[in-house]
Amino acid sequence: MVYDTLLVEVDDHGIATVTINRPDKLNALNAQVIEDLDAFFALAQEDEAIRGVILTGAGSKSFVAGADIARFQELDGVSGKAFAERGQAVFNRIENLPKPVIAAVNGFALGGGSELALACHLRIASDTAVFGQPEVNLGILPGYGATQRLPRLVGLGIATELILTGSMIKADRAYEIGLINRLVPADDLMDSARDMMGTILSKAPLAVAGSLRALRAADQPLSAGLQAEATLFGEACDTADFKEGVAAFLEKRKASFSGR
């Protein structure tokens, strides 16, 4: 797994740590980063050795400081739309991965960087993290999903404020509004992400995958979402891990899940 702009390490527990590696540009998302993320997450979908992904940025200053502004001078109406659609497709692939993805936000998460964190299933941030959607300062609006994912996560009012003012917020405010799941000292960031991932990976894998799929259906009207939940619940009831989980509870022992 060699990528121009990503460092990838997979440990013995199946946790892939993916580091976006352009620290001299604060890990800004150029076209190559987008293509590398697409290729990695396509692989992660298929590769059984990868059970979960932690995404972070190289260096201590930045997670991702946005899309690559150096490229913006080329954009017009047509290419701008294509640019947004390409990024959205890759971020959708991340969000739709049936394995947990945690953003470990180690500094600036601005514009496309904040949107990348929003596309992950969970977000843990260091106390040095800074979030924002500063696109209005450049005469554009978010194009990689913030107008849709941010209101779903923090509510329409706060999302509107962040997007219209372009203000940056620190990690404590991000925690207060529910943008991040955990706020930890910078030195503890990766351990905390691995700890959360370890907890998730100790559960029945098909139940975790089913939960992620059901949670995706939360975008749909309630009746459709509930139907999706019931279907996925039924599928879980057909698994060996369901039998094992219930038997282990009744026998007062720890369950040993096989992922079947």
Give Cα 216 distance to the centre of its chain. 13
Task: Find all residues with CB under 8 Å of 195, minimum gap 6, and list them.
Answer: none
Residue 79: CB atoms within 10 A of its CB come to 11
What track of x and - describes contact with ligand COA for positions 79 through 108 (by CB under 6 A)? Answer: -----------------------------x
CA dist 190 and 159 (Å) reads 27
Please confirm, yes or no, whether 48 is among the known catalytic residues.
no
User: Which strand (E) or helix (H) includes residue 221?
Assistant: none
Kindly tell me which residue out of 35, 47, 68, 176 binds ligand COA, with binding defined by CB under 6 A.
Answer: 68
Catalytic residue among 48, 74, 85, 115: 115
The active-site residue, picked from 9, 35, 74, 135, is 135
By CB under 6 A, tell whether 69 contacts ligand COA: yes
CB nearer ligand COA, residue 70 or residue 224? 70
CA 35, CA 23: separation in Å to the nearest integer? Answer: 18
Contact 217, 229 (CB under 8 A): yes
Shortest reach from residue 75's CB to ligand COA, in Å: 11
- Site residue total, ligand COA (CB under 6 A): 16
Question: To the nearest whole angstrom, how small is the minimum distance from the Cβ of residue 22 to ligand COA?
Answer: 8
Strand partners, 130: 108, 170
User: Which residues are near ligand COA by CB under 6 A?
Assistant: 25-26, 28, 65-70, 108, 110-112, 134-135, 138
- Write out the catalytic residue numbers: 115, 135
